[in-house]
Structure 1
Amino acid sequence: MQHSYLVIEGNIGAGKTSLVDLLVKKYQGREVLEGFAENPFLPKFYEDPKRYAFAVEMFFLSERYHQLNNELLQQSLFDQHTFSDYFLSKSLIFARANLDSDEFDLFFKMYEIMMKQLPQPDLLVYLHRDVNELQYNIQKRGRAYEADISDAYLQRIESSYFQFLKQQPLKMLLLDVNGIDFVSDYEKFDQICKIINQPFEQGIKKVKL
């Protein structure tokens, strides 16, 4: 693995954590996973998005920053590679989709301050799945507070991700994994590893498995 810090991003239910788990086992790297269940505002947000959007996004921003700051800036003598299922930019993407303009302006000021203090990934991989596959995965994992996520919300998050990716001066891979179960199909996972291990230039490279 030529990338020392690799981030897997994607919509809700895309398979980010599953892919990170597999990469960590294969390359014996350090795993940085998002503590998704710890936001006390999240269940309330799904019940009343307008009322709790700012609280849920500010909480996520703070928690993500503190976790990444602790994990990424801590020197490791044993792990040559770090794999994460999120980056701080995830907060910006969801905030853009969920907040009104005044709330987003305030949020963005805090985000910019925090973002400047974190290292950038060597490669950002975005896993793309169609909404019907996302919904299937969401229902399969059975988190109660995610049960009523709408197709429209998932489409809004995807649009926010695409808008973000187009604006970033990073090395990025948009990986279309529609219909692909890389957890049970090792050949597909091995194919993903070969793609990820290629050299990348700044910008977005699109690959469909």
Structure 2
Amino acid sequence: MEGENKAVIVLAGMIGAGKSTYTKFISDALGSEPFYESVDDNRILEKFYENPERWAFSLQIYFLNTRFRSIKEAFKHENNVLDRSIYEDALFTRINYEEGNMSDAEMDTYLDLLDNMMEELDNMPKKSPDLLIYLRGSLDTVLNRIEKRGRTFEQIDGNKGLLDYYTHLHGQYDGWFNEYDKSETLIIDINQYDLEKLEDAEKVINMVTEKLAEVRNKASIK
């Protein structure tokens, strides 16, 4: 992708939806730079799963900071794919608040900081992604993928509280997506497509390139 073909694409979707896999696939296909959310460098994530009430606020601040840094870099380069963006952070924080993992004061502090950061993004030359891709799938599909990737702290066996958290989060994602208005969007049904199958992979990249062409055409008309 060169010149006018540059694009900032962000992936959105449930834990376990396959965002990192899709990020690599799409960035490789388009010749752009991938930005990944690092789990190995996150010293808080596993602690959160062990004790959500103690670590939810710290985790959300950590994510907000790292995603703010990533999207600033992405807007500067203008030719990349992010496996998760700052736009979903408020959803995860609200779920933690509704689950009783965060206090009113913590929620207010988080939202104030988020608003401050979003104002900073509004002052950048590029203010939003070109495309957000929502990886949408059933809760069963997501849970199967979480089990398959094998991170011990993410597993629901013997942990009804974690299953309730996943169920609550999954139930709110469509509502979040319907309210998202920062860029053009594309839904990919992860129940239907499997990137390990060549035919499905070709269909997915065709969907992405066709949507990007549509986005660029709209931009050229304005």
* TM-score grouping bracket, smaller chain normalisation: 0.7 to 0.9
d(CA) in 2 for partners of 1:73 and 1:192?
A: 24
Q: What is the CA RMSD across the aligned residues, in angstroms? A: 2.2
Amino acid at match of 1:166: N
d(CA) in 2 for partners of 1:59 and 1:7?
A: 19
1:171 equivalent to 2:155? Answer no
Deviation, structure 1 residue 162: 2.3
Normalised TM-score (structure 1)? 0.83
Which deviates further from its counterpart, 154-163 or 34-43?
Answer: 154-163
d(CA) in 1 for partners of 2:164 and 2:13?
A: 16
The residue aligned with 1:87 is 85
Deviation, structure 1 residue 163: 2.6
SS at match of 1:172: strand
Amino acid at match of 1:66: R
SS at match of 1:116: helix
Q: Residue 33 of structure 1 contacts residue 84 of structure 1 at CA under 8 Å; is this kept in 2? A: yes
Deviation, structure 1 residue 36: 2.4
d(CA) in 2 for partners of 1:55 and 1:151?
A: 21
1:39 equivalent to 2:19? Answer no
Matches within 5 A, 1:60-75: 60-69=63-72, 71-75=73-77
Deviation, structure 1 residue 73: 4.3
Does the C-alpha gap of structure 1 residues 22 and 84 become closer, same or farther in structure 2, counting only changes over 3 Å?
same
1:187 equivalent to 2:195? Answer no
Aligned with 2:15 (options 5, 9, 12): 12
Q: CA-to-partner distance for each residue in 1:19-65, whole Å, 9 max, x for gaps?
A: 11111211111111111232222111111112211111111111221
Deviation, structure 1 residue 174: 2.3
Which deviates further from its counterpart, 161-170 or 20-29?
Answer: 161-170
The residue aligned with 2:167 is 155
SS at match of 1:37: coil
d(CA) in 2 for partners of 1:176 and 1:3?
A: 25
The residue aligned with 1:115 is 118
Structure 1 alignment gaps of length 5 or more: 202-209
Aligned with 2:28 (options 11, 17, 25): 25
Amino acid at match of 2:85: F
d(CA) in 1 for partners of 2:143 and 2:21?
A: 16
